[in-house]
């Protein structure tokens, strides 16, 4: 079975200490790797304002994982998200080849820059 590409984002409650936040992130990294996922990219987006209050909270710690894994892992990951009281929201999406290419270009700083024409190069 060929692995699929996924991206998951979860929001941790803002009342956690830095150590508690790192423990939660490590827990979900371990869930992914122990179930056969290969982490492609990981990004801690930090404390951000929420678009609307969730559980009477206006901010949360955002964490993103991009990974390759068999489709069976998603159900296990979602179950772990729902069981953990530190998670206030989560979203996992499947990435097509265009999204994978876009994420790769974004990481390499190629997104948002104008293409250089021959005249500008001289």
CATH of the domain at 47: 3.30.70.60
Nearest alpha carbon to residue 73 among 27, 28, 37: 37
Beta strands in the chain (DSSP E): 4-12, 38-54, 57-69, 87-95
- The answer to whether residue 113 sits within a structural domain is no
> What length is written for the chain?
122
Confidence of residue 110 (pLDDT cuts 50, 70, 90): confident
CB 25 within 8 A of CB 75: no
pTM of the model: 0.83
- The answer to whether residue 21 sits within a structural domain is yes
Which residues make Cβ contacts (< 8 Å) with residue 45, sequence separation at least 6? 61, 62, 63, 64
- The answer to whether residue 10 sits within a structural domain is yes
Give me the number of domains the chain comprises: 1
Nearest alpha carbon to residue 78 among 4, 1, 6: 6
Q: Write out pLDDT tens, residues 40-94.
A: 999 999 999 999 999 999 999 999 999 999 888 999 999 999 999 999 999 999 9
Q: Which domain holds residue 15?
A: 4-108
pLDDT of residue 120: 59
pLDDT of residue 3: 77
């Amino acid at each position: 079975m060929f692995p699929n590409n996924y991206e998951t984002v979860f929001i941790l409650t803002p009342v956690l200490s830095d150590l508690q936040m790192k423990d939660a992130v490590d827990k979900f990294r371990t869930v992914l790797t122990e179930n056969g996922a290969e982490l492609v990219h990981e990004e801690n987006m930090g404390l951000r304002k929420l678009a609307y209050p969730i559980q009477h909270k206006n901010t949360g710690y955002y964490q993103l994982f991009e990974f390759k894994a068999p489709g069976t892992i998603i159900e296990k990951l979602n179950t772990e998200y729902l069981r953990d009281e530190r998670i206030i929201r989560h979203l996992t999406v499947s990435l097509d080849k265009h999204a994978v290419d876009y994420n790769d270009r974004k990481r390499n700083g190629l997104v948002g820059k104008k293409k250089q024409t021959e005249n500008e190069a001289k």
